[in-house]
Amino acid sequence: MSETAENLVRSARALLVRRGYHGFSYADVAAEVGIRKASIHHHFPAKVDLVRAVLAAHRQEIGHALEALGQAPPAKQLQMYTDYWAACIRDDSAPFCAAALLAAELPGLPAELADDVRGHFRELSAWLASVLARGVKEGTFTLAAGASAEAESFLATIHGAMLAARAYADPSAFEAIVRAALGHLKPPTKKRR
């Protein structure tokens, strides 16, 4: 991808997480990047192509981050995953997950973009399920349901926490909700006699 295309993707991502899919246009991106609107079409013939590139970059970034967690203990992996989002929300570099925002707009998205969004959620949920299952096996986590269902629940909680932080204009709301969600996964402590 050329430097101009990367700048277009970066601009579109920032606009997307702040305004949603239908809340920005090529004119907004062109003004932010400093090129003519027609030049964007050279790199991305349609808006859906640009947003698919945004989502592909987002998925690649998340994939690399999850890969970097390697074989860290399951609790540490979840903590690092949530710490990543807490930092993004706190410093306003990514106040909302682009894929989650697109998922909220799914009924109004082009089919190919909707498929990409679903693919992201399937991948992320599978990773979470594997981390939770390993945590159960190692005695780190206790789950009320199967690993897949708990992964979906945890994912919904994370994205709901992002929404709460945005609604309250308070990054600490995300952190408080996530802390509670992580606490629910830990096995009960044994009482001393």
Range 103-112 average pLDDT: 96
Range 99-111 average pLDDT: 95
CB 171 within 8 A of CB 86: yes
| Predicted structure pTM score | 0.89
Amino acid at 33: V
Range 158-177 average pLDDT: 96
In whole angstroms, what is the distance from residue 47 CA to residue 172 CA? 34
What pLDDT was estimated at residue 71? 83
- Short-list 174, 14, 186, 152, CA closest to 82: 174
Amino acid at 29: V
The answer on pLDDT for 191 being more than 70 is no
Q: Given CA atoms 11, 15, 21, 27 in this order, what sign does their dihedral have?
A: negative
What pLDDT was estimated at residue 86? 94
- Short-list 117, 110, 104, 133, CA closest to 54: 117
Amino acid at 57: A
How crowded is residue 38: how many other Cβ atoms within 10 Å of its Cβ? 9
For residue 42, the surrounding DSSP H or E stretch is: helix 37-43
Report pLDDT digits (tens) over 119-140: 999 999 999 999 999 999 999 9
Range 35-46 average pLDDT: 95
Range 13-23 average pLDDT: 95
Beta-strand ranges (E) seen in the chain are none
CB 3 within 8 A of CB 12: no
The answer on pLDDT for 175 being more than 70 is yes
The answer on pLDDT for 190 being more than 70 is no
* Domains in the chain: ranges and CATH: 57-185 (1.10.357.10)
Range 138-163 average pLDDT: 96
CB 85 within 8 A of CB 96: no
pLDDT band at 192 (very low <50, low <70, confident <90, very high): low
- CA 5 to each of CA 26, 39, 98, 154: distance values in angstroms, whole numbers, following the listed order: 13, 10, 18, 34
In whole angstroms, what is the distance from residue 193 CA to residue 186 CA? 21
Q: Is 172 helix (H, G, I), strand (E, B) or coil?
A: helix
- Short-list 65, 102, 56, CA closest to 84: 65
